[in-house]
Chain A
């Protein structure tokens, strides 16, 4: 084409024109090629059967997007159809794409077709390319795929069974499970095992059974895990090379051809441990099986990883009770600090540690005599201990016997017979087999001791003490015991045969126990005792003493010599004629006893001490009781009689002289005249003015408002209502009432009575006779002014603003001895000293004689100095709550006294 174009241009005169025409022609041709995509050419298939991957390659022009369809050839079933973007090989322009099949590629033939695509344009399909399966007619045998796949636990695997030519499939089994089957072609059938569990070492069988013939085709699948080794550690035994060990970790369930292969630093390890000829310092373990690989690393210095080999050629050289154990080393540890552990086994097992550079011998001390031992040794590095090496083979040795220990010997006496007893030696004390015992009787004066031999099984010798005593006379007889054993004869153990048979009952002895085997007896214990206890030989010295109506018994201790046993206590008896009645059993520390509530004249007591043998005869004492108890009662009765007599006398005197008493203490008070309407306008004091009540208004008659509040109390009504009124509770919310008392006009100051508590409205009622006299006598604030509002009503009577008796502007009630002009001052209420003083308060503080003076001074006190006053013979009750009861009592007493006088009026 290029040549043709060149010759054409050279033969023409219109070169530019033809060039343009040709270029346009070429351009038009290219445009037509773009619209018609090239069909992929040279499609080729490459199968990777183990991975079930099909690699498809083709030449597809300039297209980058292709459509691929894969069909099962026989049934023309679509397995795959999709648009793919294929990789282009830059060198040859070849496209390549890989498809992974669910079924093994051997199962049936596959057809592959490709077309190019650009936008909506698509080329024609390429010619189908076929990957032949193993079910083609030429391969008529029965088969199953995959043959022997290795998969991880939990994965899914699809198998296919190709039945033999002319056969029909009957069943497919996965292990013992009958599977569902999908037909892929005329002879090929597929089934899928899902979520597979771990298989046995010989795998899980998958097989198909055809109809008609008993020909089995099958496969084996291995389901397991990738390797997971752990705990890699490398150590040295010869101080040169390294040996690495590791734990294989969880079972992979894969064996044989599929087992895990290990390598250390790229050296294959046929065993589960692996060595390197030199100490590399760091190691990498790679574990590989068909399902994956795993890597572990370890690094260490040689000195830190020394594990000595087991000691060899162990020998034991026995001394008497020591042994020297020697051994040899396979490698040279002479410059290495070792710590070795020796296990010593006899009746028990002990471990002893020794250390030293290149240690190869140890001495075992303090072994038991005549004892068989088994010993073995292992060692480790002392400086940087890594682990113990292996135990050596054990060797056995036996220590030699030796002189036995001296036995513990003592004498057991029962009247004139006795036994020399010695404690059997233990295995360690005998230090060898015991042959027998030798008992020697000797006395210092005798030259020829008597000797007896006993065999090994004996541990006592009976003796006739009386006979030996007659032989020895006054000499002290001794017995000596020695032990004869394989290792020799023990030192003798002595026991003196002191025949002290004169123990008396009831005699107190001091006993001392000495250890006998040594030549110098050692005191081991000392105690006091009686051979036999008796009752005390004397009784207590009893004394009696009367205290009021009680009798105290006391007695002394019994002398030690007379006790004849250990006193255990005292019994106290009282004699009831011919017999003794036990009163008390006292412990030994008590020597006094009080007998209470006695009556009568004479009593006889007995106190007996007792030991384990019984009571003594007892100490007796008698006592004649004096009168007790009635004198006090008589004295009380006499006193009461005297008081009664005095009261009667006083009452009689008062009755006879009642006129004088009334005049002196309770003169009549003139009744106030009530010019206005004295009816009650406000609530709290609901009293009617008695007809004989009289109010003398001396000055300031213009105080009508105050008068309006004055309420007089009828005397008769008071009397009628007097009983029990004083006990009524105080209602402080109620308007306080003014009380008018019988007044004795004398020189004494007027004392306002606090109408608190029980004496509020009710107490005004129980006034027997109320006379109010305005005599120009002024009261001081301390006697008339009520406490301010700031004070507790419970402590001080506190008139409310609605009270008939109040100060200044407090209102509309009757206000005796008040300044006519309301000062509107609360200062009088602020007189704490007067208000807080306790006890009754005589009305002795009248300071001003006239209201004028009070006006001039303009003081609250003066304002109270009103010519209107109340004179009363009653005492002022004390302030404060602490005197509440007292006030009540005083009030009650006053009321009673008033009533008495009133009733005594002629």
Chain B
């Protein structure tokens, strides 16, 4: 498993087909989505009660857009904002789990750190895609981490929702960036 995780990190830094910045962003988002899914899978293997539980579909991270039909770049900016919130949620999740459980299984902890690193890298990528001449786009976590969870069981449910949110936004990022990549003349296949 460790080798599988190490390999994508190398791939993210290597030139992807097309060699464009948007192509690298799409690949990175795809990689993030895959790792988030693996993390959720590990989590559900430990917390088996979640196998019988279907998410209610509510979003923890929401976007507010002023224009009804934002351009691809505006969508990337929105995506960047959502990813910052996701990174904030992930930081909060790591902190809460550390407090509540201490160190958990090595594989889960390692993959969690990989997702964090990948998300931070994707933030840098999206910032660079939309241009940041004025320095308004930040890459820091955007979350207060002031949720009140109802005991350990509530924390588990909250963690489950955070992981689902990460998967959702990683998937959204891949799609958004792919649109941008297409608009900028990138190839379909990445």
Contact residues in B for A216 (Cβ distance below 8 Å): 49, 52-53, 157
A256 touches B153 (CB 8 A): no
Contact residues in A for B151 (Cβ distance below 8 Å): 147-148, 219-220
A216 and B151 CA atoms in complex are apart in Å by 14
A448 and B119 CA atoms in complex are apart in Å by 88
- What is the interface residue range for chain A against chain B? 20 to 34
Known: A256-B101, A257-B99. A205 touches B153 (CB 8 A): yes
Contact residues in B for A256 (Cβ distance below 8 Å): 98-102
Contact residues in A for B103 (Cβ distance below 8 Å): 201, 255
A442 in the interface (beta carbon within 8 A): no
Contact residues in B for A219 (Cβ distance below 8 Å): 151-153
B52 touches A220 (CB 8 A): no
Q: Mark A210-240, 1 if CB is under 8 A from B, else 0.
A: 0000101011100000000000000000000
- Across the interface, B104 reaches (CB within 8 A) one of A173, A176, A202, A259, namely A202
Q: Mark B92-108, 1 if CB is under 8 A from A, else 0.
A: 00000011111110000
Contact residues in B for A147 (Cβ distance below 8 Å): 150-153
B156 in the interface (beta carbon within 8 A): yes
8 A Cβ contacts from A176-230 to B? 176, 200-203, 205, 207, 209, 214, 216, 218-220
A218 touches B46 (CB 8 A): no
B48 touches A203 (CB 8 A): no
A257 and B97 CA atoms in complex are apart in Å by 10
B102 touches A203 (CB 8 A): no
A144 touches B99 (CB 8 A): no
Q: What's the minimum C-beta distance from B7 to chain A, rounded to whole angstroms?
A: 29
B53 touches A205 (CB 8 A): no
A209 and B150 CA atoms in complex are apart in Å by 18
B63 in the interface (beta carbon within 8 A): no
Q: What's the minimum C-beta distance from A369 to chain B, rounded to whole angstroms?
A: 47
A202 and B100 CA atoms in complex are apart in Å by 8
Contact residues in B for A200 (Cβ distance below 8 Å): 46
A202 touches B46 (CB 8 A): yes
- Which residue in chain B gives the minimum CB-CB distance to A218? B153
Contact residues in B for A218 (Cβ distance below 8 Å): 49, 153
A205 touches B49 (CB 8 A): yes
- Which residue in chain A gives the minimum CB-CB distance to B155? A220
Contact residues in A for B74 (Cβ distance below 8 Å): none
B54 in the interface (beta carbon within 8 A): yes
Contact residues in A for B128 (Cβ distance below 8 Å): none
A201 touches B102 (CB 8 A): yes
Contact residues in A for B150 (Cβ distance below 8 Å): 147
Q: Mark A146-181, 1 if CB is under 8 A from B, else 0.
A: 011000000000000000000000000100100000
B5 in the interface (beta carbon within 8 A): no
A255 touches B153 (CB 8 A): no
Q: What's the minimum C-beta distance from B59 to chain A, rounded to whole angstroms?
A: 18
8 A Cβ contacts from B122-180 to A? 150-153, 156-157
- What is the interface residue range for chain B against chain A? 20 to 34
Known: A147-B150, A147-B152, A214-B54. A201 touches B101 (CB 8 A): yes
A214 touches B53 (CB 8 A): yes
- Across the interface, A202 reaches (CB within 8 A) one of B98, B99, B101, namely B101
- Across the interface, A148 reaches (CB within 8 A) one of B49, B102, B104, B153, namely B153
Contact residues in A for B53 (Cβ distance below 8 Å): 214, 216
Contact residues in A for B152 (Cβ distance below 8 Å): 147-148, 202-203, 219-220
Q: What's the minimum C-beta distance from A317 to chain B, rounded to whole angstroms?
A: 45
- Across the interface, B102 reaches (CB within 8 A) one of A144, A205, A207, A255, namely A255
B47 in the interface (beta carbon within 8 A): yes
Known: A202-B101, A202-B104, A255-B102. A144 touches B52 (CB 8 A): no
- Across the interface, B52 reaches (CB within 8 A) one of A201, A202, A209, namely A209
Contact residues in A for B153 (Cβ distance below 8 Å): 144, 147-148, 205, 207, 218-220
- Across the interface, B156 reaches (CB within 8 A) one of A173, A220, A257, A259, namely A220
Q: Mark A653-693, 1 if CB is under 8 A from B, else 0.
A: 00000000000000000000000000000000000000000
Q: What's the minimum C-beta distance from B84 to chain A, rounded to whole angstroms?
A: 28
- Which residue in chain A gives the minimum CB-CB distance to B53? A216
A697 and B55 CA atoms in complex are apart in Å by 155
- Which residue in chain B gives the minimum CB-CB distance to A175? B48
Contact residues in A for B102 (Cβ distance below 8 Å): 201, 255-256, 259
Known: A147-B152, A148-B153, A220-B156. A176 touches B99 (CB 8 A): no
A214 and B157 CA atoms in complex are apart in Å by 13
A205 touches B47 (CB 8 A): yes
- Which residue in chain B gives the minimum CB-CB distance to A254? B102
A493 and B102 CA atoms in complex are apart in Å by 76
A157 and B187 CA atoms in complex are apart in Å by 61
Q: What's the minimum C-beta distance from A484 to chain B, rounded to whole angstroms?
A: 55
Contact residues in A for B49 (Cβ distance below 8 Å): 173, 205, 207, 216, 218
- Which residue in chain B gives the minimum CB-CB distance to A217? B153
Contact residues in B for A202 (Cβ distance below 8 Å): 46-47, 101, 104, 152, 156
Q: Considering residues A148, A200, A202, A218, which has the most beta carbons from chain B within 10 angstroms of its beta carbon?
A: A202
A219 and B153 CA atoms in complex are apart in Å by 5
B101 touches A255 (CB 8 A): yes
A201 touches B104 (CB 8 A): yes
Contact residues in A for B104 (Cβ distance below 8 Å): 201-202
- Which residue in chain B gives the minimum CB-CB distance to A216? B53
Q: What's the minimum C-beta distance from A615 to chain B, rounded to whole angstroms?
A: 84
Q: What's the minimum C-beta distance from B145 to chain A, rounded to whole angstroms?
A: 17
B48 touches A176 (CB 8 A): yes
- Which residue in chain B gives the minimum CB-CB distance to A201? B101
- Which residue in chain A gives the minimum CB-CB distance to B52? A209
Q: What's the minimum C-beta distance from A167 to chain B, rounded to whole angstroms?
A: 15
A144 and B150 CA atoms in complex are apart in Å by 11
Q: What's the minimum C-beta distance from A872 to chain B, rounded to whole angstroms?
A: 128
A142 and B153 CA atoms in complex are apart in Å by 13
A209 and B48 CA atoms in complex are apart in Å by 13
Contact residues in B for A207 (Cβ distance below 8 Å): 49, 153
Contact residues in B for A214 (Cβ distance below 8 Å): 52-54
Q: Nearest 9 CB-CB pairs, A to B?
A: A255-B102, A220-B152, A147-B151, A256-B102, A256-B101, A148-B152, A218-B153, A148-B151, A256-B100
B: residues with CB less than 8 A from A are: 46-49, 52-54, 98-104, 150-153, 156-157
25 inter-chain pairs at a CB distance below 8 angstroms, sorted by A residue, are A147-B152, A147-B153, A148-B151, A201-B101, A202-B46, A202-B104, A202-B152, A202-B156, A205-B47, A205-B48, A205-B156, A207-B153, A216-B49, A219-B151, A219-B153, A220-B151, A220-B152, A220-B153, A220-B156, A255-B102, A256-B99, A256-B101, A257-B99, A257-B100, A259-B102
Q: Given contact pairs A147-B153, A220-B156, enumerate 20 new A-B contacts (beta carbons under 8 Å).
A: A148-B152, A148-B153, A173-B49, A201-B101, A201-B102, A202-B104, A203-B152, A205-B156, A209-B52, A214-B52, A216-B52, A216-B53, A219-B151, A219-B152, A219-B153, A220-B152, A255-B102, A256-B100, A256-B102, A257-B100
